[in-house]
Structure 1
Amino acid sequence: MNFIQETKEELNKVVWPSRPQLISESAAVIFMVSLSAALIYLVDGLFKWLAERIFLGG
């Protein structure tokens, strides 16, 4: 019981983000993840192209 009471007290201290802040920061995270994925995809394509030229002699 003591644990549950202390947990409630700690959760009351949490500063929750506002809805606009939550949406803005979520959009920023989604954008950065998409950008990172696109960069990894492009670098992977470059390495694939280089490997084909080196190992297949094309």
Structure 2
Amino acid sequence: MATTQIETVTTSADKAKLAVTGLLVVGAVAVFYLLGKQDLWVRVLALLVLIAAAVGVFFTSAQGKELIAFGQDSAKELRKVVWPSRPEATQMTAYVFAFVVIMALFLWLTDKTLEWVIYGLILGWKH
């Protein structure tokens, strides 16, 4: 039996940071609407400042640091990818298009054959 590992918030400081992050996001939306009589640029600036603060607090938590590490590991793995050359990519694209056309013709032919068998032979309906 396979066991699944569930990641949880480990410290109360991290819980507090995540709570503050959530409050900042909710506060950003609330401030945006509470400043409804202000110019749009003021409202958007307040929203962006509070969202930036929420992102900053999140990235100081353990989950934020794990997200940063994941992004760095992903970038390292992406640099290891061997990308196909242009002729290889063009050839594979042509193969895919050809397969799609052949499959579409096969499905159309199958559909029409079943339509003829069911409606024409079995039920005797005329189109």
TM-score tier by shorter-chain length is: 0.7 to 0.9
Name the amino acid aligned to 1:5.
Q
- Aligned equivalents of 2:105, 2:90: Cα separation in 1: 22
Larger RCO of the pair (alpha carbons < 8 Å, separation 6+): 2
- Size of the aligned set, in residue pairs, is 58
SS of structure 1 residue aligned to 2:71: helix
SS of structure 2 residue aligned to 1:16: coil
Residue 106 of structure 2 corresponds to 39
Find the structure with the greater CA-based Rg.
2
Deviation per residue, 1:16-45 (Å, 9 max, x gap): 011110010011011001101101101111
SS of structure 2 residue aligned to 1:5: helix
Higher helix proportion:
1
Gaps of 5+ in 1: none
Structure 1 segments of 4 or more deviating over 4 A?
none
What fraction of aligned residue pairs are identical, expressed as a percent?
A: 34
